[in-house]
Amino acid sequence: MVVAAGVPVQPDCDKRSAMPDNVTLVRDGLIATVTLNRPDRRNSLSDPMLTDLGAVFGELRDDHTTRVVIVTGAPPVFSAGADAGLKSSMSAEEKRQAFATRKSQFRRLFERANTVLEGLEQTTICAINGHAVGGGWGLTLACDFRIAAAEAQLWIPEVDLGVPLGVASTTRFVRMVGPARAKEIIMGCARYSAADAQAWGLVHRVVPGAGLAAAVADYAGLLAKKPFRPMAEVKARINAIARTGIPEVNAMTEGFLDRA
């Protein structure tokens, strides 16, 4: 088995699932690592890759032996976002035209894969090993924890490319950082450092790139030792509360004063 350098797995004891080359799934005991595997295209999210991601996450959803799932990208980046065939030599208008004319089921496939990822009972960690752009950054937000290489940059270029950011990623940004910061990130299209993202709560930890694999493996090992059922139930409750606010039933049953 060939595993890209910097991907936080242990090849000596890994078992690789029979998945397409767009995505690799490697199991190591209680921990599974999903790797976006199109380094020649900077792990851009094509329709086939998103289809494969959905299949991998679906397989893990029904896997009773995995407790922690790591999501990362084949070096040197995490993901360049939607695959639209853009080139650095293109003008801004040429890039907009490329986005406008591409034929893709991106939004449907992206939402389907991210919904399964966010809903996994296992704890999920995103190892942001390099730049995370557009949908690439959006994908990180569907994970429970995000640990980033200090060298990574993150940005949302969609508005500059003439398209709105998808509803799912927009919702997660608003939920995590509030509407004002979400507008700054999504509408301003600026590049941010991993440290910026950490300051806003969009990244939990920032470590030197050379130490990312070890940091992610250590944290995954810590989480894998915890009792699985309460971890899964608390995760589901937190996700539900984040979507709906404090459940109304709590206000009804726990908000009364004692009266004579």
Digit-coded pLDDT (tens) for 33-42? 999 999 999 9
Whether the pLDDT of residue 128 is over 90: the answer is yes
- DSSP structure string for 22-43: TEEEEEETTEEEEEE--GGGTT
Residues 86, 134 contacting (CB under 8 angstroms):
no
Strands (E) across 55-214 are located at: 68-73, 123-128, 132-133, 145-149, 153-155, 192-193, 205-207
Please tell me the distance from the alpha carbon of residue 27 to that of residue 66, in angstroms, as a whole number: 8
Q: What is the pLDDT of residues 197-250, one digit of tens each?
A: 999 999 999 999 999 999 999 999 999 999 999 999 999 999 998 887 655 545
Q: What are phi and psi of 168, to 5 degrees?
A: -65, -50
Share of the chain above pLDDT 70, in %: 78
**What is the DSSP code (8-state) at residue 184?**
H
Alpha carbon dihedral 190, 196, 199, 205, in 10-degree steps, equals 130
Q: Per-residue confidence at 6, pLDDT binned at 50, 70, 90? A: very low
Residues 45, 79 contacting (CB under 8 angstroms):
yes
Which tokens is 11 given? 């090849």
Mean pLDDT of the chain: 86
Read off the pLDDT of each residue in 63-92 and give the average, rounded to a whole number.
86
Whether the pLDDT of residue 107 is over 80: the answer is yes
pLDDT reported for residue 119: 96
| Cα-Cα-Cα-Cα dihedral sign, residues 106, 78, 213, 22 | positive
Share of the chain above pLDDT 90, in %: 71
pLDDT reported for residue 83: 84
pTM, to two decimals: 0.84
Read off the pLDDT of each residue in 57-82 and give the average, rounded to a whole number.
96
Q: What is the pLDDT of residues 177-190, one digit of tens each?
A: 999 999 999 999 99
pLDDT reported for residue 217: 98
